[in-house]
């Protein structure tokens, strides 16, 4: 499900705050295993926020088809995401399409794991679901919110700190691409973690 989103900015690290704002509109989303929430795309403004792109279906939810009706009340809602106010507009149902290259802003792993441990964990997870792909962990860009020198990202949920890394999977078969998009990798998918989508073209 894709919804248009009108506003100026959202926090760059907005996964938990976005889900909390959604729960204020639809109170039965807590623990919803049928729901994953994509990170909102935007351009970093250098001050810890993302500038929203105009005319884009920027709020994207990965939803079990049987549960589509449960998220329709999002249309027309106003969300306050750590003080940044955005308005949710019309929705569209977008079927998943197989593409060879997918990316996730952050895939989580237990606290304290370094990059090497994470890579081993990720390959084990891919083996478990029977997916073959070339794995990339993008180099850090330096100024992104929550990004460390080795490329790791940090998600704060109340008093809890969650560690993870951005991931790109390349060379997926059509079947494996759909499997990754359906299942994701790792936990906290309602907070935007482990949710894979086709890579955006440069620019």
Per-residue pLDDT of the chain (203 residues; tens, 9 = 90+): 999 999 999 999 899 999 999 999 998 898 899 999 999 999 998 888 999 987 789 999 999 999 999 999 999 999 999 999 999 999 999 999 999 999 999 998 765 567 888 888 899 989 999 999 999 998 766 544 445 666 778 887 877 888 889 999 999 999 999 999 999 998 899 999 999 999 875 44
Cβ-contact 35, 168 below 8 angstroms: no
Using CA atoms, how far residue 49 sits from 69, 80, 83, in Å, is 31, 14, 11
Q: Which residues contact 69 (CB under 8 A, 6 or more apart)?
A: none
C-alpha neighbours within 13 Å on the C-beta side of residue 10: 27
- Region of 83 (left: φ > 0; alpha: ψ -120 to 50; beta: rest) is left
- Torsion angle (degrees, nearest 10) of CA 118, 123, 126, 132: 140
State the Cα–Cα distance between residues 39 and 107, nearest whole angstrom.
12
Q: Which residue has the tokens 């997870």?
A: 125
Question: What's the predicted TM-score (pTM) here?
Answer: 0.88
Using CA atoms, how far residue 66 sits from 34, 42, 69, 192, in Å, is 9, 30, 8, 21
């Amino acid at each position: 499900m894709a919804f248009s989103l009108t506003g100026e900015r959202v926090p760059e690290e907005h996964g938990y705050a976005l889900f909390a704002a959604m729960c204020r509109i639809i109170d039965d989303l807590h623990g919803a295993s049928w729901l994953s929430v994509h990170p909102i795309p935007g351009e970093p403004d250098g001050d810890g926020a993302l500038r929203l792109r105009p005319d884009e279906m920027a709020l994207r939810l990965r939803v079990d088809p049987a549960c589509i009706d449960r998220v329709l009340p999002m249309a027309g809602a106003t969300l306050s995401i750590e003080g940044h106010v955005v308005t949710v507009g019309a929705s569209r149902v977008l079927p998943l399409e197989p593409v060879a290259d997918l990316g996730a802003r952050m895939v989580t792993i237990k606290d304290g794991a370094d990059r090497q441990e994470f890579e081993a964990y990720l390959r084990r997870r891919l083996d478990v679901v029977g997916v073959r792909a070339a794995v990339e962990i993008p180099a850090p860009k330096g100024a992104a919110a929550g990004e460390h020198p080795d490329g790791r990202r940090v998600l704060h949920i109340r008093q809890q700190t969650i560690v993870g890394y951005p991931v790109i999977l390349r060379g997926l078969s059509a079947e494996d691409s759909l499997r990754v998009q359906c299942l994701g990798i790792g936990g906290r998918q309602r907070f935007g973690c482990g949710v894979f989508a086709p890579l955006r073209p440069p620019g």
